[in-house]
Structure 1
Amino acid sequence: MTRSIMIQGAGSNVGKSMLVAGIARALSNRGLSVAPFKPQNMSNNAAVTVDGGEIGRAQALQALAARRDPTTDMNPVLLKPETDIGAQVIVQGKRMMTLKARDYAKAKPSLLDATLESFHRLATTADIVLIEGAGSPAEINLRAGDIANMGFAEAANVPVVLVGDIDRGGVIAQIVGTKTVLPPADAARIKGFAINKFRGDVSLFDDGLASIFDMTGWPSLGVLPWFDEAWRLPAEDVMDIASSPKPDAFKVAVPRLARIANFDDLDPLSVEPGVSVEIVEPGRPLPGDADLVLIPGSKSTIADLAHFRAQGWDIDLLAHLRRGGHVLGICGGYQMLGRVIDDPEGIEGPPGKVEGLGLLDVETTMTPKKHLALQQAEYLPTGASVCGYEIHIGETTGPDCVRAWLSIGGTTHGATSGNGRVMGCYLHGLFSSDQFRGDFLAQLGGASSTAYDAETDAVLDRLGTHIATHLDLDLLLELSVEI
Structure 2
Amino acid sequence: MTKAIMIQGAGSNVGKSLLVAGIARACVARGLNVAPFKPQNMSNNAAVTADGGEIGRAQALQARACGLDPIADMNPVLLKPETDTGAQVIVQGQRFTTMKAGDFGTAKGDLLPRVLESFHRLGQGRDLVIVEGAGSPAETNLRTGDIANMGFAEAANVPVVLAGDIDRGGVIAQLVGTHVVLSPTDRNRIKAFLVNKFRGDTSLFAEGAAEIAKRTGWHDLGALPWFADAWRLPAEDVMDIATRAGGAFKIAVPRLSRIANFDDLDPLVSEPDVTVEIIEPGRPLPGDANLVLIPGSKSTIADLAHFRAQGWDIDLAAHIRRGGHVLGICGGYQMLGQKIIDQDGIEGQPGQVLGLGYLDITTHLEPNKTLAISRAKHIASGEQVSGYEIHLGRSTGPDTARAWLSVDRRPEGAASADGRVLGCYLHGLFSADGFRKTYLENLGARASAAGYEAGVDDTLDALAQHIETHLDLDRLLGLAE
1:131 corresponds to which residue?
131
1:21 corresponds to which residue?
21
Q: Which string of whole-angstrom CA distances, capped at 9 and with x for unpartnered residues, describes residues 171-211 of structure 1?
A: 11111110100000000000010010111111111111111
2:211 corresponds to which residue?
211
CA positional deviation for 1:355 = 0.4
Equivalent pair of 1:75/1:92 in contact (CA under 8 Å): yes
Equivalent pair of 1:242/1:270 in contact (CA under 8 Å): no
CA positional deviation for 1:125 = 4.0
AA aligned opposite 1:193:
F
CA positional deviation for 1:442 = 1.1
CA positional deviation for 1:409 = 1.8
AA aligned opposite 2:430:
F
Structure 2 unaligned segments of length 5 or more: list them: none
CA distance in 2: counterparts of 1:302 and 1:397, whole angstroms: 17
Q: Residues 125, 386 of structure 1: CA spacing in aligned structure 2 closer, same or farther, 3 A cutoff? A: farther
Matched, 1:314 2:313: yes
CA positional deviation for 1:369 = 0.6
Give the 4+ runs in structure 1 shifted more than 2 A.
244-248
Matched, 1:142 2:135: no
2:405 corresponds to which residue?
406
1:448 corresponds to which residue?
447
Q: Which string of whole-angstrom CA distances, capped at 9 and with x for unpartnered residues, describes residues 338-387 of structure 1?
A: 00100011111101111000000000001111000000000001000010
Q: Which string of whole-angstrom CA distances, capped at 9 and with x for unpartnered residues, describes residues 385-438 of structure 1?
A: 010000000010000001000001211110000011000000011111111111
Equivalent pair of 1:241/1:266 in contact (CA under 8 Å): no
2:417 corresponds to which residue?
418
Equivalent pair of 2:292/2:326 in contact (CA under 8 Å): yes
AA aligned opposite 1:54:
E
1:120 corresponds to which residue?
120
Counting aligned pairs with the same residue, the percent is 70
CA distance in 2: counterparts of 1:237 and 1:243, whole angstroms: 15
CA distance in 1: counterparts of 2:238 and 2:265, whole angstroms: 9
CA positional deviation for 1:16 = 0.4
CA positional deviation for 1:239 = 3.2
List aligned pairs for 1:288-299, cutoff 5 A.
Answer: 288-299=287-298
AA aligned opposite 2:426:
L
Secondary structure of 2:344 counterpart: coil
Structure 1 unaligned segments of length 5 or more: list them: none
Equivalent pair of 2:415/2:421 in contact (CA under 8 Å): yes
TM-score (norm 2): 0.99
1:64 corresponds to which residue?
64
2:433 corresponds to which residue?
434
Equivalent pair of 2:246/2:271 in contact (CA under 8 Å): no
Equivalent pair of 2:176/2:215 in contact (CA under 8 Å): yes
1:96 corresponds to which residue?
96
1:362 corresponds to which residue?
361
CA distance in 1: counterparts of 2:446 and 2:186, whole angstroms: 53
TM-score (norm 1): 0.98
CA positional deviation for 1:162 = 0.5
Q: RMSD over aligned Cα, in angstroms?
A: 0.8
Q: Which string of whole-angstrom CA distances, capped at 9 and with x for unpartnered residues, describes residues 131-174 of structure 1?
A: 00000000000000000000000000010000111111111111
Matched, 1:393 2:388: no
Secondary structure of 1:229 counterpart: helix
Equivalent pair of 2:26/2:464 in contact (CA under 8 Å): yes
Equivalent pair of 2:368/2:392 in contact (CA under 8 Å): yes
Matched, 1:42 2:45: no
CA positional deviation for 1:271 = 1.2
Secondary structure of 2:228 counterpart: coil
CA distance in 2: counterparts of 1:353 and 1:290, whole angstroms: 31
AA aligned opposite 1:323:
R
Equivalent pair of 1:253/1:293 in contact (CA under 8 Å): yes
AA aligned opposite 2:243:
S
CA distance in 2: counterparts of 1:462 and 1:326, whole angstroms: 37
CA distance in 2: counterparts of 1:456 and 1:277, whole angstroms: 18
CA distance in 1: counterparts of 2:240 and 2:137, whole angstroms: 24
AA aligned opposite 1:156:
A
